[in-house]
Amino acid sequence: MNNNSQVSTYNVTMESTEDLGVKTDFLLASYNSIYLGARKAAPQQINNELVIAQDGRTKTTFHIKVSNRMAPYLIKAIQDQTKPGYGVALKSYFNRLQEQIMAQMFSNVGELSFPKFG
């Protein structure tokens, strides 16, 4: 696992499909709310370690770049954004986003070394 002095960067691309059932403006507003929530919760010195950008060609595609230090705040902001009134497809979309970030966060778990007892 990474310690706080070693910064890793995770990149996630989320593509929306028509079956999501939301307008592009709503999706953009949701990402904006997630971005602002994560930055508000995080210490100021790591606020620049999160970038969420809408694809220039495909407006329903978003690119997320986040550091390992900022990722927990991003995940919390995603959880806060998923409201009870959201449809199943939209909740699933944000759950996939969260899972992709967490998968990258924990991808190095197999590289941990454990002390030998005995």
Which tens digit of pLDDT belongs to each residue from 26-80? 889 999 999 999 999 999 999 999 999 999 888 889 999 999 999 999 999 999 9
Phi (first) and psi of residue 101, to 5 degrees: -65, -45
Q: How far apart are CA 50 and CA 74, in angstroms?
A: 8
Look at residue 113 and tell me whether its pLDDT is greater than 50.
no
Q: How far apart are CA 29 and CA 101, in angstroms?
A: 20
Residue ranges of E strands in the chain: 9-15, 50-54, 61-67
- The single residue listed with the structure tokens 């690119």 is 63
- The single residue listed with the structure tokens 């986003």 is 97
